[in-house]
Amino acid sequence: MNAIAYTLFLSWLFLSSYSAAAQTALTGQLLTEQQEPLPGALVELQSPARPEATAVTTTDRAGRFSLQVSWPGDSLVLSARALGFTEQVLRLANRSQRVSMTLAVSLTPLKEVTIKAPPIRREGDTLSYRVSAFTDKKDRVIADVLRKLPGVEVEADGRILYEGRPIQKFYINGADLLENRYNLASSNLPAEAVQDVQVLKRHQPVKALRGVQATEQASLNLELKKKVTATGQARLGVGATPALWNANLSPMLFTPRQQLLDTYQANNTGQDVAADLKPLGLGDFQQLLEPGNQKPDLTGIQGLSAPPLATGRYLFNRAHLLSANHLLPFSKEAQLRINASYLHDRQNQTGSTRTRFTLPDGRNVTLREEKQNRLYINQFTTDLAYVRNVQHYYLKNTLSVAGSWEAQDGLVQLTGQEQPVAQRATNPAYSLSNRLGLVRPAGGQRVVQVNSVVTLAASPQQLTVSPGPLPAVLADGRAYAGARQQARAETFYTANSVAFITGRRHWHYTYTAGFTQEIERLTSTLTRLPAPAAVPDSLRNGLRASQGRYYAQAGIDYKTARWHLELEAPLNYRTFRATDAGLNGYQQRRYLAAEPRLSGRYELSGLWHASGGAGFSNQFGSVQQLYYGYLLRDYRTLQRNAAPLTQTRSWNFNGGLFYENPLTSWFYRATYSFSVATRNQLARTLVRPDGTLTTVALAQLNQSRNQTVAGSVSKFVSDWKMTLGLQLSGSFSRQPLLLNDQLVTTRNQSGTARFRASLNTFDWGGLEYSAALTTLRNRLGTADFGATTAFQEQRLALSWYPAEQHTVQAAAEYYQSNGLDQPVRSTFVDATYRYTLPTARKVDVELKATNLLDTRRYQTTYTSGFILVQNNYQLRPRQALVAVRVSF
C-alpha cells in the first residue's frame, strides 16, 4: 500500500506555524457490507480546527488507504465516499491509528447530466446554433427559430441573410432539395426535428471547385436530429366571418440518399401561399436576372401595390398550392431532382390611391382613384435537374418549364367623374429553359468550367379600357367608347461560357470567354373601340431587337489567412441592333468596354474583418425598354421610347466593417456604398391637369448619384435567452429629369431605424418587441418644393404558458403614416390560444382571433422624385379561426 495522502492548504496556512504539530498517520480499509474490499473510493480527512484544510486519497484494489497529516487540534473527521454507496463520516482522535469502515449500498442514483452544447459554437468556418436554445414553446416551424438567431436576419418574404448578405444555399442534412425556393422548408419543417442550424461561411457548393475557387458567401444547413427523418405538418382550420378555411398538408422524408417534401396548401384567410414558391437565393453560378425568366409588364390594369403588412391583414384570396419536391439517387454519385408546383388563386383588392405630382413651378396635380380589382392567377412551374456534385466532377443540367395564365379585372372611380373606368387584362406567359453547368478537373489544381443557358419565352398580353382613355391624345379630345391594347413579347436568350481555373497556393486565376445573345420581338396594336377604319402607325409596334455581349475575362483571386482579394477584369464587346420597319425606326450600336471590379476582405483579428470593393460598368439597358410606337401601360399612362437605348456608365464603391464573436454572441457591422451613374437618356414626362401622364425618353446625357450607409448590432444574452438587434440605414440620391419641359433635379433622402428584442428568460412566457421608423424626404430643384413622409410601426407580442399544454399569445401592432393631411393611425390586436394534446405526437388545437379591434383604415405614403403616392386599403375584418395542427 503506497497511497500517500496529498494535502491541500489555503496558501496562508503554509506561512503559519503548524509545522510544530505532530504527524498523524491514518491507515485503513474500506469494506462493503458483504465484507469485500471497496477499491476506487474517495477518502477525505478534515480537521475541525482548520476547516480550510483537507487531505484526499483513493483506495487501492484491496480497499486500503493511508493518509498523513500534521494538523493541530485533538480531533479529525474522516469521510469515505464511493459511487453507489452511502457516505460514511467518522470523528477520530488526532493520533495515528488504523481505521476500518463499512459502506452501505445507496439506492439513490446520482443525477446524470446531459448538458447541451453551448448555444453557438464555432468550428472552423462553421457556426452552429443549437436550435433548442433558441426555441420556445410557441415555436413550431424552423423559420420561427431562424429569425431569433443573432447574426441571422429573415426578411418579410422569407429571405435569409447572414451578416446582411443573402445566403447562397439552403441545405437540409447537407443536401440541396429546394434550391432557392427554401421557404417551402423553412415554413413547414417542424423545429423539433432540427438539432443545429449551421452557417457555413465561405462555402463553395461545387465540390470540384473547393480549394480552387474561394467564395465569401455563406450557406445554411439544417442538421436534423436523426439521419432518417419522416416529418411534416398537417393543419386544418375553419372560421368566420365570412366563412374561412385554411388547410396545409406537408409530408417530408429525409434519408441519407433521398429527400422528399410535398405540400398542399389552401386558404381564404389571407395567407400568401405563393410566398413559398418565391426564389430567394442565388443559383449555383450566381446568374443575374436573365431575360425570359420574368414576365414582362407590357400592359395591365392599374394595380394597388401590396402594403408592408402581414398578408393576413389585407389579402382577400382563395388560394390552392400543390408542390412536389423530390431528390432521388440516380447513380452512386448522381441525383435527380424534381420540383413541380401548381398555384391557383383569386384575389380581390379594394382601396384608394391619391397620387400627387409636384411640378417645377410648385403647383401640384392630385389624382384620386377608388380601385376595385380582381385577379385570377394560375401558375405552373417544373424544374427537372440532374446533379452530379463530387470532388472530381460537377454536372448539373436543369430543364425548366413554366406557364402562367393570369387575368385581371379592374374598376377605377376617379373623383369628379361620374363613370368608373373599367379595365380588363389578360397576360399569360410561357417559358422553356435549359441550364447546364459542368466542372471538370484538368489535372493538378486546374479546373475547366462550362456554363450554358438557353431560354425561350413568350407573353401575349391584352388590356381593354372603357370609356376610352387619354382622349386628348388618342381621340382629339373627344370622348370615346374604349381602347384595346394588344402586345406580345417573344424572347430568345442564350448565354454560354468556358472558364479555365487554376491556382497555386494563395493565388487563383479564372480565365473566361463567352457570349450572350438576346433576341426580342415586340408586336403591339392600340385600337379604339369601336374599331376605327385604320389604326395609325404611331399606335403600333413591330420591333425586332437583338443585343449581344462577347467577352473575355480574367479573374484573379488572392487568399491568405488574412486577405481575400478578388479582381475581375472583363473586356466586353457589346452589340445592339433594333428595327421597327413599320415606323422606320432603326438603331445600332457597338462598342468595346473594360469593366473591372475589385473587392477585398481583410481579417483585422479573428473577430473583426473589413471588406471593400470598387467597380466600373458600362452597359446597355434592357431592350424591353424600347418601343417606337405608343404603348398604353395602364389606363392613364401612355409611353413611347424611341430614343437611343439607354447606356449607363456607373462607378460604385463600397466598404464595411464587421465584428462577430460567437463566444460572447456579439455581432456588429457597418457598411457604406456610393455610386455615380451617367446615362445617355433622360425621361421627359408631361403631367396633364387631369393626372394623365405621357413619358418619352430623350437623348441627353445626365448623371445621378446614390449613397447608402447602414449599421447593425445584435447580441444574444444567453443567461436571459434574449436576442437584441438594432439596424440603422440611410440613403441619399439625386437624379435629374425633364418635367413639363423644365429640367429639374430631384433629391431623395430616406432613413430607417429598426429595433427588435426577444426575451425567453422564463419557462412560463416570452416577449417580443420590434419597432421601425422610416422617413422619406424629397426636394425638387433648388426651390423648397417637395414632400416629407414618415412611417412608424411597433409590434409587441407576448406569449404566456399558464400550464404545461396551454399557450396564450397576444400581439398588438401600431402603425402611423404621416403623409398628406392628418396622420393615419392603425392599431391591431390579435390573440391566439393553443392547447397541445397530451399525446406523444404533437397535436395542437388553436383558436386564433385576428383584428379584434376591427380596424378598417390603413394608409401608406411613399414619395420619390416628383411623385407622392398615398394608398388606403380595405382590410380584412375581425375574424376567428379554429385550427388543428399535427406535426409528425
Partner 1 sequence: MQLHSVGLFSNLNMNRLLISTILAFNTTVSYSQNKKMAESDSASVKCTYKITYQPDSTNIGSKNTESAFLLIGKTLSLYQYENKIKLDSAIDNNIRNNIQETKISNYPKANFWYRIYKKSSENQVTTIDYIGTKEYAYTETMPLFVWNISSESKNINGYNCRRATTSYAGRVWEAWYTTEIPFSEGPHKFSGLPGLILEIKDVKGYYEFKMSDITFKQNSLINFSNAGISYTTRNDFRKNKDNYEKNYVSIRIAQGGAIYGDEKTMRKIVSDNYNKRNNPIELK
Q: Does 506 bind partner 1 (CB under 8 A)?
A: yes
Among 581, 663, 698, 701, binds partner 1 (CB under 8 A): 663
Among 81, 130, 326, 589, binds partner 1 (CB under 8 A): 81
| Look-up of cell digits 395564365 | 405
Nearer CB in complex with partner 1: 257/562: 562
| Grid cell for residue 667 | 455581432
Q: How far is the CB of 79 from partner 1 (least distance, A)?
A: 9
Beta strands in 124-228 (DSSP E): 126-130, 152-154, 160-162, 165-166, 170-172, 194-200, 219-224
Report which of 605, 593, 596 is spatially closest to residue 566, judged by C-alpha positions: 596
Query: Could you tell me which stretch among 57-65, 330-338, 429-437, 738-746 binds partner 1 (CB under 8 A)?
Result: 57-65
Q: Does 122 bind partner 1 (CB under 8 A)?
A: yes
Name residues contacting partner 1, limited to 96-115 (CB under 8 A).
Answer: 109-115
Q: How far is the CB of 41 from partner 1 (least distance, A)?
A: 7
Q: How far is the CB of 70 from partner 1 (least distance, A)?
A: 16
Q: Does 8 bind partner 1 (CB under 8 A)?
A: yes
| Grid cell for residue 69 | 497529516
Query: What sign for the dihedral angle of Cα 524, 526, 530, 535?
Result: negative
State how far the Cα of 100 lies from the Cα of 813, in Å rounded to an integer: 73
Nearer CB in complex with partner 1: 196/768: 196
Nearer CB in complex with partner 1: 445/575: 445
Strands 393-414 and 364-390, by their bridges, are antiparallel
Report which of 312, 317, 370, 321 is spatially closest to residue 344, judged by C-alpha positions: 321
Any idea what DSSP says for residue 537?
G
* 263 Cβ contact partners less than 8 Å away, ≥ 6 residues apart: 184, 188, 248, 249, 250, 276, 321, 322, 323
State how far the Cα of 61 lies from the Cα of 856, in Å rounded to an integer: 82
Q: Does 503 bind partner 1 (CB under 8 A)?
A: yes
Q: How far is the CB of 175 from partner 1 (least distance, A)?
A: 19
Q: Does 777 bind partner 1 (CB under 8 A)?
A: no
Q: Does 89 bind partner 1 (CB under 8 A)?
A: no
Q: Does 810 bind partner 1 (CB under 8 A)?
A: no
Q: Does 121 bind partner 1 (CB under 8 A)?
A: yes
State how far the Cα of 100 lies from the Cα of 512, in Å rounded to an integer: 85
State how far the Cα of 806 lies from the Cα of 283, in Å rounded to an integer: 43
Site string for partner 1, 825-864 (x = CB under 8 A): ----------------------------------------
Q: Does 157 bind partner 1 (CB under 8 A)?
A: no
Are the CB atoms for 120 and 662 separated by under 8 Å?
A: yes
Q: How far is the CB of 78 from partner 1 (least distance, A)?
A: 12
State how far the Cα of 621 lies from the Cα of 646, in Å rounded to an integer: 5
CA distances (Å), origin 588, targets 423, 579, 699: 37, 9, 15
Are the CB atoms for 448 and 440 separated by under 8 Å?
A: yes
| Look-up of cell digits 473577430 | 607
State how far the Cα of 278 lies from the Cα of 567, in Å rounded to an integer: 32
Nearer CB in complex with partner 1: 88/708: 88
Report which of 550, 555, 646 is spatially closest to residue 592, judged by C-alpha positions: 550
Nearer CB in complex with partner 1: 20/110: 110
Q: Does 318 bind partner 1 (CB under 8 A)?
A: no
| Look-up of cell digits 452597359 | 619
State how far the Cα of 458 lies from the Cα of 433, in Å rounded to an integer: 12
Report which of 730, 820, 742, 731 is spatially closest to residue 782, judged by C-alpha positions: 742
Among 72, 118, 166, 420, binds partner 1 (CB under 8 A): 118
Q: Does 42 bind partner 1 (CB under 8 A)?
A: yes
Q: Does 213 bind partner 1 (CB under 8 A)?
A: no
State how far the Cα of 146 lies from the Cα of 140, in Å rounded to an integer: 11
Q: Does 331 bind partner 1 (CB under 8 A)?
A: no
Q: Does 525 bind partner 1 (CB under 8 A)?
A: no
| Look-up of cell digits 458567401 | 217
Q: Does 174 bind partner 1 (CB under 8 A)?
A: no
Q: How far is the CB of 3 from partner 1 (least distance, A)?
A: 5
Site string for partner 1, 423-452 (x = CB under 8 A): ---------------------xx-------
Q: How far is the CB of 259 from partner 1 (least distance, A)?
A: 24
In 10 A of CB 306, how many CB atoms? Answer: 14
State how far the Cα of 808 lies from the Cα of 805, in Å rounded to an integer: 10
Name residues contacting partner 1, limited to 593-632 (CB under 8 A).
Answer: 603, 605-607
Are the CB atoms for 604 and 610 separated by under 8 Å?
A: yes
Among 21, 56, 824, 867, binds partner 1 (CB under 8 A): 56
Query: Could you tell me which stretch among 58-66, 158-166, 167-175, 339-347 binds partner 1 (CB under 8 A)?
Result: 58-66
Report which of 424, 423, 455, 452 is spatially closest to residue 438, judged by C-alpha positions: 452
Nearer CB in complex with partner 1: 38/193: 38
State how far the Cα of 851 lies from the Cα of 720, in Å rounded to an integer: 31
Q: Does 11 bind partner 1 (CB under 8 A)?
A: yes
Q: How far is the CB of 605 from partner 1 (least distance, A)?
A: 6
Among 16, 23, 58, 286, binds partner 1 (CB under 8 A): 58
Are the CB atoms for 75 and 46 separated by under 8 Å?
A: no
Q: How far is the CB of 502 from partner 1 (least distance, A)?
A: 11
| Look-up of cell digits 445584435 | 714
Site string for partner 1, 445-484 (x = CB under 8 A): x---------------------------------------
Query: Could you tell me which stretch among 49-57, 224-232, 310-318, 713-721 binds partner 1 (CB under 8 A)?
Result: 49-57
In 10 A of CB 230, how many CB atoms? Answer: 13
Among 29, 59, 466, 887, binds partner 1 (CB under 8 A): 59
Q: Does 390 bind partner 1 (CB under 8 A)?
A: no
Q: Does 41 bind partner 1 (CB under 8 A)?
A: yes
At 742 the three-state DSSP class reads strand
In 10 A of CB 833, how many CB atoms? Answer: 15
Among 391, 417, 419, 742, binds partner 1 (CB under 8 A): 391
* 32 Cβ contact partners less than 8 Å away, ≥ 6 residues apart: 38, 85, 102, 103, 105
Q: How far is the CB of 60 from partner 1 (least distance, A)?
A: 4
Name residues contacting partner 1, limited to 546-575 (CB under 8 A).
Answer: 561
Q: How far is the CB of 14 from partner 1 (least distance, A)?
A: 9
CA distances (Å), origin 87, targets 49, 75, 78, 94: 22, 19, 11, 21
Q: Does 416 bind partner 1 (CB under 8 A)?
A: no
Q: How far is the CB of 396 from partner 1 (least distance, A)?
A: 22
Q: Does 3 bind partner 1 (CB under 8 A)?
A: yes
> Which residues contribute to the site for partner 1 (CB under 8 A)?
2-4, 6, 8-11, 39-42, 44, 52, 54, 56-61, 81-84, 87, 109-118, 121-124, 211, 391, 444-445, 503-506, 561, 603, 605-607, 663
